[in-house]
């Protein structure tokens, strides 16, 4: 598999929201949920006449895991109407929208998640993928750089940024150290990335393509 044909794996890699090594396989059928603790640093006051926000969030996650994305989206949007500053809930809403190919809505949700919690690396990682798919490579780069700055061991973000540099932005000299870093984080288990590293190393010093900057 070459790097050009593997760019479709970008979104799949983002399913890995935890610290486990990225798997280069088809996306799981269930997106990784954001824990309630990651949703907000604020103490939530329950809306009179409605269940506690934590219970509503858990119910929405259960719908996601039951593969009922439309019902989960309705539940999340209802929760966000009452609690618009919950970063984790915005993230899960964005994940559902991204998987449904609703890129514009997903981007808005991920950006709301980041605005509510600038340290939400899961939202940053997913947001980067949506910008990359939209051809906005500069914003994709910024989101992944920020995710890695906040969480240097975030293997999915490291590999996503490497592929962005290598395939989309034609900056292999910037991709190579990231591929190597990803290999360290994944204990050199990814043989495909190992082959890419050898390929780039065999070329020697590479001059960046000055005409391959961000799409807009």
Nearest CA to 216 out of 158, 161, 141 is that of 141
pLDDT for 149 equals 98
pLDDT for 206 equals 56
Domains of the chain and any CATH numbers: 5-16+51-203 (1.25.40.10)
Round to the nearest angstrom and report the end-to-end CA distance of the chain: 29
pLDDT for 7 equals 33
C-beta of residue 38 within 8 angstroms of C-beta of residue 117: yes
pLDDT for 159 equals 95
pLDDT in tens, the chain (216 residues): 455 434 323 332 333 333 223 333 322 222 333 333 344 434 444 555 566 677 777 777 787 777 887 888 788 888 788 788 889 889 988 998 898 899 999 999 999 999 999 999 999 999 999 999 999 999 999 999 999 999 999 999 999 999 999 999 999 999 999 999 999 999 988 899 999 999 999 987 655 444 444 444
Only one residue has tokens 């150290």, namely 177
- Host H or E run for residue 141: helix 137-150
* Cβ-Cβ contacts under 8 Å for 34 (sequence gap 6 or more): 17, 87, 88, 89, 91, 92, 120, 122
pLDDT for 52 equals 66
C-beta of residue 86 within 8 angstroms of C-beta of residue 79: yes
154 phi and psi, to 5 degrees?
Answer: -80, 90
Model pTM score: 0.71
């Amino acid at each position: 598999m070459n790097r050009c044909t593997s760019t479709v794996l970008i979104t799949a890699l983002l399913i890995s929201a935890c610290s486990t090594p990225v798997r280069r396989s088809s996306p799981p059928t269930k997106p990784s949920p954001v824990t309630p603790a990651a949703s907000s640093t604020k103490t939530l006051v329950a809306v009179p006449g409605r269940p506690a926000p934590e219970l509503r969030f858990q119910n929405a996650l259960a719908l996601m895991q039951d593969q009922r994305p439309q019902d989960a989206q309705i539940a999340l949007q209802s929760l966000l109407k009452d609690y618009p500053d919950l970063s984790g809930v915005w993230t899960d809403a964005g994940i559902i929208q991204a998987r449904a190919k609703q890129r514009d809505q997903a981007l808005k949700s991920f950006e709301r998640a980041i605005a509510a919690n600038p340290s939400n690396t899961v939202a940053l990682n997913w947001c980067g993928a949506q910008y990359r798919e939209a051809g906005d490579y500069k914003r994709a780069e910024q989101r992944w750089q920020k995710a890695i700055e906040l969480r240097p061991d975030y293997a999915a973000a490291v590999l996503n940024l490497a592929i962005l540099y290598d395939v989309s932005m034609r900056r292999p000299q910037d991709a190579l150290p990231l591929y190597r870093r990803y290999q360290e984080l994944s204990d050199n288990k990814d043989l495909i990335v190992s082959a890419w590293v050898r390929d780039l190393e065999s070329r020697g010093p590479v001059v960046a393509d000055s005409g391959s900057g961000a799409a807009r």
